[in-house]
Amino acid sequence: MSVSDNKDPITIESQQTEPFPGDVHPTAGGGIVISKLDEVINWARSNSLWPLIFGTSCCAIEMMSTAAAKYDWSRFGFEVARATPRQADVIIIAGTIVNKMAPVLKRLYDQMADPKYVIAMGACATSGGPFFYNTYSVVKGADHIIPVDVYIAGCPPRPEALIHALITLQERIKSGATREQIKVEKF
Amino acid sequence: MFEEVGTTEQGDLIINVGPQHPSTHGVLHLIITLNGETIKNVEPHLGYIHRSIEKMCESLTYRQFIYVTSRMDYLSSHINNHGCALCVEKGLVVEIPPRAKVIRVLMDELTRLASHQLWWGAMAMDVGALTPFFHAFREREAINDIMEETCGARLTMNYMVPGGVMFDLHPNFQSKVKDFIALFKSKIDEYDELVTSNIIFKNRMKNIGYLSNENAVSFGCTGPTARGSGVSCDIRKLYPYEIYAQLDFREITETGGDCFSRYLVRLQEMRQSLYIIEQLIDNIPEGDFQAKTKAVIKLPKGEFYSRVETARGEFGVYIVSEGGMTPYRIKFRSPGFSNLSALNHMAKGHKIGDLVAIMGSLDLVIPDIDR
Amino acid sequence: MHNETLKSMLVELVPLAVFEEGSEWPTIMIEPASWKSLALLLTTTPALQFDFLFCLTCVDWKTHLGMVFHITSTLHRHTVVVKAKLNRDHPEIDTVSDIWKTAEFHEREVYDLFGVKFLKHPDLRRLFLTDDYVGWPLRKDFEDAVNMIKL
């Protein structure tokens, strides 16, 4: 919630008594603060991110391992993996993106409802990976197609690396630094 | 690019399945023509993971191109690498030390077990049972840990090199594999109890997706897909490589030709793989793990073909060499490509739910098909 | 059947065949126009019965394109390799998808990557690349400055 001209009585009162909870992002026209409500909303969003099942190649197997019993990701709230983008929050691009698949990825991303986040898993989704040189059909990095929040290195990354990336994404959501949130605040 | 979905003149419905779909085992795009709920035609559209591997290999040296095949059929990555190493060794005419041969066969059979475990879990999940997925991954993690200690990676291990294997076995390898054998013997009986004898599972799989013996050969099917229809095509028995000729194991064929027969073939292959590992684990010979080869490998002018039995069927590597440091042309004969061509024939006349069961029983890995 | 016996049988049946040396299996070089009749002969002769086509590919030799067919018999357990030279500018050869059903997909792949036209194929269109793609990627003179980053 942005406060532009200090007319809100609650804001004025708490500004005078104690420091505001949450981060402060300065913009033109006054200070924007993330209020307690924003913090609660971010905390709730980050602890129940539902991933979209989108695995194109080998990284999909490590994603399935992360979902299975030994490196369980539902401990962190990623319990419900949805097959349809309309009900998913985060798309984990696990695998290589080729020129024929790129419009499909873009369409899936557009079909997801806001707020949505993107994790590029593995070397192929980050930059083309082992298929960078001398290939005529590989997109050299999924961020040519859609904006990415977290990149994971590895070919394929271990399940612990994927969980580390998920926790990083959760912390970024809580601190308000994902592309989604910065985009909204610029209004 | 996006096909028109709609109705044909006869009133049939045309729908898309995939490319992003939980049960297509990768990015497979199927255009299905339906009459009510009965399938009239299934047309696979490929290419959504076509990574131009064959073109890329023309600029990689003979030691470098092996890593790429790990990523093709990533569930049998050791076996794919093995096939490539065998082809290069055919050109070099080099003798592999016995220790390397035994290590290669051990790793191959462990990979086959891991691949069939994942297939079993995914197959049951497609048909509707979610619990076997977790059981399968629990055992698979044990194999992944063994592989990680010796080879350094869990899924795409580049362990086979022309001449032998890259590193020696880890000191814990033997004891860990023996523990795994003891554990898995009871688990595989559990698999039978949980899924095979389940009446719902049997109703979903029996008499679905019939493939006759002649059609299996004509469509070029290999592996458990063809062995479920009675075709005897196990490369380990027909054209033995490494030490398979000296091992005692059976080739499993069933004559039913339907999904349930293919399922039974793979389950029994798991038991045979376990038996092979048992025979070898106490008899690993001492010695070198890699034969001496030149640092820069140049194959003589000519063409070489070698084949191995992956978890899906016959994987062939065809190298045409002009004497240089890089191959002139490499063709990978992938088992999934031919197995998929039989899908239309098998699925005609069934319902959509049966199509999912048929695709599960074919055990497709789409990057293997698209290369 | 032993390689030598197989070779002598093939010489009898196909008098115009030229044999290539240096491979582990008997390799026949034929004219593209005679491929269909040879394929029918290989499948229908009881002593040969080549019913399993396990590899169908093409090699770009810069002056011409070479088709390579690897066929084996599940009954007699012998293998033969058939090669045909195609003109680079108009590469055309008969389809064998009515004899071996696996050839349908394999021929589509060769058309997609090399541009070889298979006459009377039931459905000849691109398989891996998009339908509007221009160019035959696996040919040696293929250039794609946008996508291919050379090492």
Each residue's pLDDT, cut to its tens digit, for chain A (187 residues) gives 444 444 454 444 444 455 555 545 554 544 445 567 878 888 888 888 899 888 888 899 999 899 888 998 989 888 888 888 999 989 999 999 999 999 999 999 999 988 889 999 999 999 988 999 888 889 999 989 999 989 999 988 999 999 999 999 998 888 876 766 666 555 4
The string of pLDDT tens digits covering residues B25-37 is 888 899 999 888 8
Q: What is the pLDDT of residue C6?
A: 79
- What whole-number distance in Å separates Cα of residue B79 and Cα of residue B187? 24
Residue C109 has pLDDT above 80, yes or no: yes
Q: What is the mean pLDDT of residues C74-89?
A: 89
Q: What is the pLDDT of residue A4?
A: 45
Map C13-27 to HEC letters. Answer: HCCCCEEECCCCCCE
Q: What is the pLDDT of residue B226?
A: 92
Q: What is the mean pLDDT of residues B284-307?
A: 89
Q: What is the pLDDT of residue A184?
A: 59
Q: What is the mean pLDDT of residues B81-95?
A: 91
The lowest-confidence range among A164-178, B127-141, B294-308 is: A164-178
The lowest-confidence range among B1-5, B166-170, C115-119 is: B1-5
Residue B101 has pLDDT above 50, yes or no: yes
Instruction: Please state, as a whole number, how many other Cβ atoms lie within 10 Å of the Cβ of residue B323.
Output: 10
Q: What is the pLDDT of residue A14?
A: 42
Residues of A in contact with C142 (CB under 8 A): 136
Residue B190 has pLDDT above 50, yes or no: yes
Minimum CA–CA partner of B18 in chain A: A104
* ipTM score for this prediction: 0.92
B22: closest CA of chain A, how far (Å): 6
Q: What is the pLDDT of residue B102?
A: 93
Best probe of the B interface among C43, C57, C58, by most B CBs < 10 A, is C57
Within the 108-137 window of chain A, which residues sit less than 8 Å (CB to CB) from chain B? 108, 130-131, 133-137
- What whole-number distance in Å separates Cα of residue B28 and Cα of residue B365? 9
Q: What is the pLDDT of residue C142?
A: 87
Could you tell me the pLDDT band of residue C49, with boundaries at 50, 70 and 90?
Answer: confident
User: Which of A57, A100, A158 has the CB atom closest to B154's CB atom?
Assistant: A158
Residue A90 has φ and ψ, to the nearest 5°, of -125, 135
Q: What is the pLDDT of residue A153?
A: 92
Averaged pLDDT of chain B: 89
- What whole-number distance in Å separates Cα of residue B268 and Cα of residue A112? 43
Tell the burial category of C46 from Cβ atoms under 10 Å away from its Cβ (0-12, 13-18, 19+): exposed
Cβ contact, residue pair C130, A137, below 8 Å:
no
User: Is residue C120 classed as helix, strand or coil in its secondary structure?
Assistant: coil
| DSSP calls for B76-145 | GHHHHHHHHHHHHHHHHT-PPPHHHHHHHHHHHHHHHHHHHHHHHHHHHHHHT--HHHHHHHHHHHHHHH
Rg of chain A on CA atoms, in Å: 19
Sign, CA torsion B20/B21/B22/B26 = negative
- What whole-number distance in Å separates Cα of residue B295 and Cα of residue C77? 38
pTM: 0.88
Averaged pLDDT of chain A: 80
Cβ contact, residue pair B71, A65, below 8 Å:
no
Residue B177 has pLDDT above 90, yes or no: yes
Chains that touch B (3 or more CB pairs under 8 A): A, C
Q: What is the pLDDT of residue B24?
A: 67
Q: What is the mean pLDDT of residues B123-142?
A: 90
